[in-house]
């Protein structure tokens, strides 16, 4: 009889033990309930157990694992809370014309967050050429992808990330400025002057209570007397010149790649520049196979008007470095270090999986 | 210059105030300007006279001015309108310099800007009564163009305004070459100016020649051409046809 009882107890014991493990590690969202249930299970185990030393060891193990789960969960919650506090929990963020006590305009900063939600856009330049590339994200399988690269003039192109509607309006403005200059002076508008016009326009929206900042970041590439230039225009009204830059979601991976290579871009040939752009796009895809349908690439240069590269040209470049899709991690060209950087990126971007779709979410709202 | 909106009644008569604001005819005018491209850049010549109708009233008017680093503007026609144009270009150049970004407006841009200005004024029936010659060199490229008071504009290797069109351009068509040296260019221009001096009643014998190269603009001091009035045809014009003149 005692033997039967013992074996029965053991069965119960292991059952609750496994249940406990399951609850601990697989139902992470309901930690609160989880603690209660694990405590309950532990109590039951104790009740049904017959072998005290084994039980006590296992109980100890359980307690430790529970505590670590709790701690990590708390830490994550704290982080989320911090982010939440930064984003939502303050009273100075209702108006763009309200300063915070620490000297920040929160609405402008939130507008820059909108840029980070858009799908990635990448630009790089050599002395004579500028390449703009972007990831094609479609709202659904049925729809076509959003246009993120626009021709402003034969010698200026722009890639956008963020609220694409705002981007479209600003591209129209740029085209208008460019063509007015061409008409009056019969000469192309220097890109440096165009970005200043753009930045001034964006600044106006940060200083009127009845306006809101543009929620789009613009990578403007173009020519002027001194050669090719690449600029980044923020919703805040700032603009910076870059040798290479990436904006949008998961752009950190691309930026890391570009940071390693940018010193050689100045003297790059046109083909190398295109290859670097496509490689940078691949970094933002993070493991997804790179196909020519997933990216759009455009180029302009001193003796080359702005135009898009067609699918075959892009596919040819992809084929030079991606012979078999699974092998690309081992390829000499791929930077293995990107894997860690890429993994760290989603946490930074606040959710990589859903971010790509944010590009179209504002339209749905 | 106030811009009053013209009032139209049945016979299309406009507001009297508007009339007094529009240029109907020129008063103080300059005569021709002649310009050519030469090996290193542009050479432009004009005399220094300002006529008040048929009176040669002003004899010290500079009708050629440097615009920015790269351009040279010469004008014939109403002097006051020329001064107005210089004010517009001054403002244009000032804004261009304020950018301070390594880009600058070259002669082609200035020429097109002036074309737009002249044409728009003509459309408002209030022209700037000038024919402008715009020359310059930028990044090794020579540019020479002309804009008339109704907005007709073009580029050429040699241009002339007013009487110069009729008297100087035939000479230039025959004798202009791509690789004229500075001295040859000056001689050619002086030849044209001498013909104009003989035949144009509003020309005076005090001229300036301006040189525009990659390095910049230099406008010469005023000087006079040697003239010869003892041609038989001049001394005895009516020989062979007594009674005529």
A297 in the same domain as A186? yes
Chain A residues inside the 8 Å CB shell of B113: 184-185
CB–CB contact B109 A186 (8 Å): yes
Residue of B nearest to A226 (CA): B102
**Which pLDDT belongs to residue B122?**
95
Same domain, A173 and A299: yes
Cα separation, A300 vs B238, whole angstroms: 72
Determine the average pLDDT of the residues in A283-294. Answer: 84
Task: Encode pLDDT of B86-104 as tens digits.
Answer: 999 999 999 999 998 889 9
Task: For residues A119 and A186, state if they share a domain.
Answer: yes
* Helix (H), strand (E) at residue A232: strand A227-233
**Pairwise CB contact (< 8 Å): B102 & A226:** yes
Distance to chain A for B88, nearest Cα, Å: 14
Do residue A314 and residue A211 come from a single domain?
A: yes
A276-290 mean pLDDT: 87
In terms of domains, do A122 and A72 share one?
no
pLDDT at residue B84 tops 60: yes
- Between chains, do B112 and A193 touch, taking CB under 8 Å as contact? no
Q: Is the dihedral of CA A30, A35, A37, A41 positive or negative?
A: positive
In a domain, A275, yes or no: yes
Q: Which domain holds residue A303?
A: 109-318
Q: What percent of chain A has pLDDT over 70?
A: 72
Tell me the shortest Cα–Cα distance from A186 to chain B, in angstroms. 6
- CA distances in angstroms from B236 to A360, B129, B230, listed in the order given: 93, 39, 9
Nearest to A185 among B99, B101, B113 (CB): B113
Q: How much is the pLDDT for B156?
A: 96
Contacts of B100 in chain A (CB under 8 A): none
Task: Name the strand (E) or helix (H) holding A34.
Answer: helix A31-48
Query: Chain B 94-153, CB below 8 Å of chain A: which residues?
Result: 99, 101-106, 108-109, 111-113, 116
Same domain, A25 and A161: no
**In this predicted structure, what is the pLDDT of residue B17?**
57
Lowest mean pLDDT among A148-162, B27-41, B231-245: B231-245
C-beta atoms of A185 and B101 within 8 A? no
Q: What is the pLDDT of residues A235-269, one digit of tens each?
A: 999 999 999 999 999 999 999 999 999 899 999 89
Are A81 and A123 in the same domain?
A: no
Q: Structure pTM?
A: 0.74
Q: Please report the pLDDT score of residue B237 as a whole number.
A: 76
User: A79 and A138, same structural domain?
Assistant: no
For the question of residue B218 being annotated catalytic, the response is: no
User: Domain count of chain A?
Assistant: 2
DSSP A138: B
Q: Where do we find the tokens 């491209």?
A: B37
Please say whether the dihedral angle defined by the alpha carbons of residues A282, A287, A292 and A294, taken in this order, is positive or negative. Answer: negative
Find the angle CA(B85)-CA(B88)-CA(B89) to the nearest 5 degrees: 90
Residue A339 domain-assigned (yes or no): no
Residue to mutate among A179, A183, A184, with most B CBs inside 10 A, is A184
Do residues A18 and A154 share a domain?
no
Check CB contact under 8 Å for A187 and B103: no
Report yes or no on A144 lying in a domain.
yes
Assigned domain for A312 exists: yes
Residue of B212 and A24 predicted with greater confidence: B212
Residue A87 and residue A115 in one domain: no
Q: How confident is the model at residue A8 (pLDDT cuts 50, 70, 90)?
A: confident
Q: What is the pLDDT of residues A24-42, one digit of tens each?
A: 666 554 555 555 666 666 6
User: Using 50, 70 and 90 to split pLDDT, how confident is the model at A356?
Assistant: very low
Q: What is the rounded CA–CA span in Å between residue A256 and residue A32?
A: 39
Structure confidence at residue A286 as a pLDDT band (50, 70, 90):
confident
Residue A345 is assigned to a structural domain of this protein: no
Which of A63, A91, A119 is the last residue in one of the domains?
A91
Tokens of A38: 């694990």
User: A209 with A295, same domain?
Assistant: yes
Structural domain contains residue A52: yes
Q: A225 vs chain B: nearest CA distance in angstroms?
A: 6
Are both A37 and A153 inside the same structural domain?
Answer: no
Of A295, A318, A341, the one marking the end of a domain is A318
The pLDDT tens digits for B125-145 are 999 999 999 999 999 999 999
What DSSP line would sit under chain B, residue for residue? ---PPPP--TT-PPPHHHHHHS--S-SEEE--EEEEE-SSEEEEEEE--EEETTEEEES----EEEETTTEEEEEEEEHHHHHHHHHHHHHHHHHHHHH-SS----HHHHHHHHHHHHHHHHHTT----EEEEEEEEETTEEEEEEE-TT--EEE-SEEE-THHHHHHHHHHHHH--TT--HHHHHHHHHHHHHHHHHH-TT--S-EEEEEEETTEEEEPPPB--------HHHHSTTTTSTT--
Within-domain flag for A352: no
Domain presence at residue A185: yes
Q: Residue A279: is it exposed, middle or buried by C-beta count within 10 angstroms (0-12/13-18/19+)?
A: buried
Q: Pick the residue from chain B with its C-alpha nearest to A196.
A: B99
Which CATH number does the domain housing residue A121 bear?
3.60.20.10
Mean pLDDT of A95-113: 92
């Amino acid at each position: 009889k005692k033997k039967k009882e013992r074996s029965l107890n053991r069965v119960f014991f292991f059952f609750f033990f496994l249940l406990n493990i399951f609850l601990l590690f697989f139902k992470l969202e309901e930690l609160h309930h989880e603690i209660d249930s694990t405590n309950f299970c532990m109590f039951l185990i104790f009740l049904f157990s017959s072998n005290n030393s084994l039980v006590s060891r296992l109980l100890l193990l359980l307690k430790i694992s529970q505590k670590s789960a709790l701690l990590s969960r708390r830490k994550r919650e704290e982080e989320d809370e911090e982010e939440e506090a930064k984003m939502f929990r303050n009273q100075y963020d209702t108006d763009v014309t309200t300063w915070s006590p620490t000297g920040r305009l929160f609405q402008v900063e939130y507008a820059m967050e909108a840029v980070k939600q858009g799908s990635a856009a990448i630009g790089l330049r050599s002395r004579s050429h500028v390449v703009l590339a972007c990831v094609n994200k479609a709202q659904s399988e049925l729809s076509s992808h959003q246009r993120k690269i626009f021709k402003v003039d034969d010698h200026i192109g722009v890639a956008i990330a963020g609220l694409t509607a705002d981007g479209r309006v600003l591209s129209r403005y740029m085209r208008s400025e460019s063509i007015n200059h061409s008409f009056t002076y019969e000469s192309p508008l220097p890109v440096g002057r165009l970005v200043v016009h753009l930045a001034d326009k964006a600044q106006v929206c940060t200083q009127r209570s009845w306006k809101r900042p543009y929620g789009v970041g613009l990578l403007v590439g173009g020519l002027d007397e001194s050669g090719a230039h690449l600029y980044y225009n923020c919703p805040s009204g700032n603009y910076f010149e870059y040798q290479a830059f990436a904006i949008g979601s998961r752009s950190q991976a691309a930026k890391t790649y570009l940071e390693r290579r940018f010193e050689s871009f100045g003297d790059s040939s046109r083909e190398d520049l295109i290859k670097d752009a496509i490689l940078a796009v691949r970094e933002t895809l993070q493991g997804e196979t790179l196909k020519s349908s997933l990216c759009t690439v455009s180029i302009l240069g001193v003796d080359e008007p702005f135009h898009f590269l067609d699918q075959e040209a892009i596919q040819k470049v992809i084929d030079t470095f991606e012979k078999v899709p699974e092998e690309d991690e081992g390829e000499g060209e791929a930077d293995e270090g990107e894997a860690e950087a890429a993994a760290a990126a989603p946490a930074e971007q606040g959710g990589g999986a859903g971010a790509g779709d944010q590009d179209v979410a504002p339209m749905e709202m | 210059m106030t811009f009053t909106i013209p009032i139209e009644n049945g016979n299309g008569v406009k507001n009297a105030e508007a009339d007094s604001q529009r240029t109907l005819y020129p008063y103080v005018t300059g005569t021709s300007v002649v310009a050519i491209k030469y090996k290193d850049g542009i050479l432009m010549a004009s005399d220094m006279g300002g006529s008040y109708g048929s009176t040669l009233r002003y004899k010290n008017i500079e009708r050629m001015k440097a615009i920015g680093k790269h351009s040279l503007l010469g004008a014939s026609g109403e002097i006051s309108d020329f001064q107005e144009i210089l004010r517009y270009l001054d403002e244009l150049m000032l804004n261009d310099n304020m950018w301070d970004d390594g880009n600058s407006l070259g002669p082609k841009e200035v020429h097109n800007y002036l074309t737009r200005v002249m044409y728009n004024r003509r459309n408002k029936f209030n022209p700037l009564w000038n024919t402008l010659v715009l020359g310059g060199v930028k990044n090794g490229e020579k540019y020479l163009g002309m804009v008339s008071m109704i907005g007709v504009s073009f580029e050429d290797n040699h241009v002339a305004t007013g009487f110069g069109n009729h008297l100087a351009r035939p000479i230039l068509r025959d004798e202009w070459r791509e690789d004229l040296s500075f001295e040859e260019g000056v001689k050619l221009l002086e030849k044209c100016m001498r013909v104009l001096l003989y035949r144009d009643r509003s020309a005076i014998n005090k001229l300036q020649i301006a040189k525009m190269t990659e390095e910049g603009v230099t406008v010469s001091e005023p000087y006079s051409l040697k003239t010869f009035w003892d041609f038989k045809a001049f001394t005895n014009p009516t020989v062979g046809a007594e009674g005529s003149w």
